[in-house]
Structure formats: C-alpha cells, structure tokens
C-alpha cells in the first residue's frame, strides 16, 4: 500500500511517529494544521458489493484519511488550531489559552499557541497517561500543565473556573473547548475540503465518511463539510457519515439508541483520551434527518475489536511509501473507524452481506428503520456505479508500544 501524497520521511526510532518533529518545525508553520495524505486501504483494487438478491452491484473503493500525520499527532489540530488562530486574530488582550483535554486536544492547543505566540495552560484528568506531560512539553516547552479530575468533564469544570476567575494578576484567558465551538467545527470541516480535492474526479463518488466520536466535534465538522460541498446536489443522496465508538465510551450510540441525549456515568473503555460523558450537541444536530439532509449511522464495537484494528493498521503501515518498514501507532479510539474498513474487506462480493460483519451494534441517528446492509448504505449516494468510502484515521498520541503490547496480551489474547 502506498500513500498517495504527502509522504513523510521517518525518524530513526522503531515506531514511526511523524509528529515528533513538530517542536522544531512549528515556528515555520503559516497555519496550525496541514493537509494530510489520502491512501487506499487495500492494494487489491475495488470491491464489488451486491444487493440482497444479487441483481445489482457497486464497485467500492476504500480510502484512509491519515490525520495522524498532523503535527500534533491527531485531527484535533484542525479545530483547536483554528480556534486559537481566531482568538489571536480577534483580540490581542488575551494572556493565552486554557484547554481541558484527555491529551490530544491539549497537544493541539499547546502547538497552536506556540505557533501563534500565545501562552497555554492545559488541564488533564488523572486518567491521562503519565507521558502526556512530556509530550505536551515537546509541543510547547512553555506550556503549563495541571492535573485535575478523574474524567475530562471534571477537568473541563476546572478549566472554566480558571477562565472565569482570571490568573494571579487578573489576566484575560481564552477558553478552548476540545470538541465544541463554531471555529472548532469549521476547522474540522477542512477534512472534507481536502478529501474532495484528493479523491478521483474531485470527490463526485464520495458515498460515506467513517469517523469516531468522543464529544462529537469531529463528526459535526465532517457534516458541515459534506453540506458545504454536496448540499446542492439533487441527483443522489448526500454522503453518509458512519460514527463509531467503543463499549464504555459510547455516549452518542446510547443517545441514538435511547432517542434522547445520554450522559454516561463514566468511561470504562480503554479508549479514554477521546472519551466524553456526553455528545448531546452532535445528537441534537443529527437526530432529525429532515433538519440536516445528512444520514448518520452510529455503530459500537468492543475494545477487543478496536485493538485488532489498531494492530492490523500498525502492521500494514510498514509498507507505506516513505516509512521504510517502520510502523505507525494510533489510539484504540481510532480502531473503531479502522475496524469498519477492515471488516468491509471481509465482505467481498457476498450477496446481502451486512456492513462490517463484526459490528456489535448499529442504529440510525434519526431513529429510522432503514436497512443497514452495506449495499443499502451506499446505494443512491453516488451518480454512477463506483462508491468511495473514506475512513478518518484520527490518530492520537496517548499511546506507546508498551501500552499496545499490554492491551494486546490482556484483551486481544
């Protein structure tokens, strides 16, 4: 498998982390985030997906949007970077930015603040891996880090107190939410801008984008981008968004399943850094298809399935152009989207096959009883017989090889 654009020369360590040079490179960035590669998921060519009776077929092409190549290590730099940039442009009186984070939004905020010349404070929950502080310092040596609360929601309450209370000298601080805010949503929507440019035929055959959900900001940004680029077309339905979560970090799935906003009591999945107790703004935005025009499918998998996706991705990434046999690490949360793609490969040309056969649960966000087999998901979303499905590889730096190996032993077996 080769990366179609933007190949990055790997560093010398055995686990390739292309974002590790961000500290040295960040001063030269014109904007916080950069365009990331789009790569084919498999080198075997298009798949044929058949209708239930075998009378019709779609040619399916699977792609990976590699946002782990962002300089902070995840998609978070898109929205968080845009939020920090807008603060910098709008009001020079801010002393700096305060961000509550499970780790990755903090990395993005730290880097963006360095790029734009602002001070930065990050509030992390106690569940954040111990190495997170070192990673934050690598992004921005001047970042201030505070550990508070057992989950992100408690860290966020502390961040808001600090913003509202000012600093020691009554400074004015800007609040950077990790998954909400107009500028954040707009920043995340740039994923679709890039995908449309990178796909064959300017994305005319885009049928679906597969992503993951913590608080819902990424999915909301993708929805915004789809509406911007495809909202005016009448010959076929808009591209679908499939939103994946793991059991125990599944606030969006539970909201869709129970048909109301759900707040989880805690995060019990290993996918903690992208975990949030709630995603009510996403649910409210997509629970009525008539108000959005974009169909949203929520699916939920186990930690074991997510890890299997991460492990497979790590193994296959060694063949990427420019990696010279070295491998890419992503967090378990990223595995939810990857599993959708890998399980789709298992389907092949089996008539009437369901979407990723091992997905434990799936439900339409609008509560509809529409079919969820793969052919039905994609039928009518492209003008011809070719359907492009893009899997957002969101990345994430709150993992190392030792953690992955331990999870593999304890969970995958």
Q: How far is CA 267 from the centre of its chain?
A: 18
Give dist(CA 248, CA 232) in Å, integer: 38
Burial of 288 (0-12, 13-18, 19+ CB in 10 A): exposed
Place of tokens 């969820």: 372
Give dist(CA 122, CA 105) in Å, integer: 9
Average pLDDT of the chain is 84
Dump pLDDT digits (tens) for 259-308: 999 999 989 999 986 678 999 999 999 987 555 689 999 999 999 999 99
Lowest-confidence range among 36-45, 186-195, 348-357?
Answer: 348-357
CATH 3.40.50.1100 fits 15-74+189-412, yes or no: yes
Lowest-confidence range among 10-19, 311-320, 322-331, 353-362?
Answer: 10-19
**Tell me, what's the pLDDT at 51?**
74
CATH topology agreement for domains 15-74+189-412 and 76-182: yes
Paired tokens of 196: 């449309």
Does position 256 have pLDDT exceeding 70, yes or no?
yes
Provide the residue ranges of all domains of the chain, joining segments of one domain with +: 15-74+189-412, 76-182
| Average pLDDT value for residue range 134-160 | 92
Residue 242 confidence class, pLDDT cut points 50, 70, 90: very high
Domain 76-182 sits in CATH at 3.40.50.1100
Q: Is the pTM of this model over 0.85?
A: yes
């Amino acid at each position: 498998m080769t990366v179609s654009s933007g190949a990055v020369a790997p560093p010398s360590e055995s686990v390739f982390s292309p974002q590790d040079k961000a500290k040295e490179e960040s001063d030269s960035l014109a904007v916080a985030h950069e365009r990331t590669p789009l790569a084919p998921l498999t080198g075997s060519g298009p798949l044929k997906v058949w209708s239930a009776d075998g009378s019709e077929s779609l040619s399916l092409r699977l792609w990976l949007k590699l946002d782990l190549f962002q300089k902070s290590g995840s998609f978070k730099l898109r929205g968080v970077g845009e939020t920090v940039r807008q603060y910098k442009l709008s009001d020079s009186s801010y002393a700096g930015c305060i961000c509550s984070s499970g780790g990755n939004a903090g990395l993005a905020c730290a880097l963006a603040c360095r790029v734009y010349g602002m001070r930065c404070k990050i509030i992390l929950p106690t569940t954040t891996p111990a190495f997170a502080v070192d990673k934050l310092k690598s992004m921005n040596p001047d970042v201030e880090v505070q550990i508070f609360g057992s989950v992100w929601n408690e860290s966020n309450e502390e961040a808001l107190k600090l913003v509202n209370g000012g600093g020691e000298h009554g400074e004015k601080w800007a609040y950077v939410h990790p998954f909400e805010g107009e500028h954040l949503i707009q920043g995340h929507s740039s994923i679709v801008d890039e995908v449309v440019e990178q796909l064959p035929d300017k994305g005319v055959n885009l049928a679906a984008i597969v992503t993951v959900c913590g608080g819902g900001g990424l999915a909301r940004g993708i929805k915004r981008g789809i509406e911007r680029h495809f909202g005016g077309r009448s010959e076929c339905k808009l591209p679908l968004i499939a939103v994946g979560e793991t059991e125990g970090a599944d606030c969006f799935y539970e909201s869709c399943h129970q048909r109301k906003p759900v707040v989880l009591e805690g995060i019990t999945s290993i996918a903690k850094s992208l975990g949030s107790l709630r995603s009510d703004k996403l649910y409210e935005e997509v629970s009525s298809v008539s108000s959005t025009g974009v169909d949203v499918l929520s699916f939920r998998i186990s930690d074991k399935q997510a890890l299997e996706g991460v492990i497979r991705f790590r193994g296959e990434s060694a063949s990427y152009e420019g990696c010279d046999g070295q491998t890419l690490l992503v967090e378990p949360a990223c595995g939810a989207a990857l599993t959708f793609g890998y399980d789709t490969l298992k389907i092949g040309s089996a008539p009437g096959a369901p979407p990723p056969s091992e997905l434990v649960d799936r439900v339409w966000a609008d509560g509809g009883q529409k079919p969820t087999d793969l052919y039905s998901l994609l039928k009518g979303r492209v003008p011809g017989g070719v359907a492009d499905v893009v899997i957002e590889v969101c990345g994430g730096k709150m993992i190392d090889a030792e953690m992955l190996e331990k999870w593999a032993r304890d969970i995958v077996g």
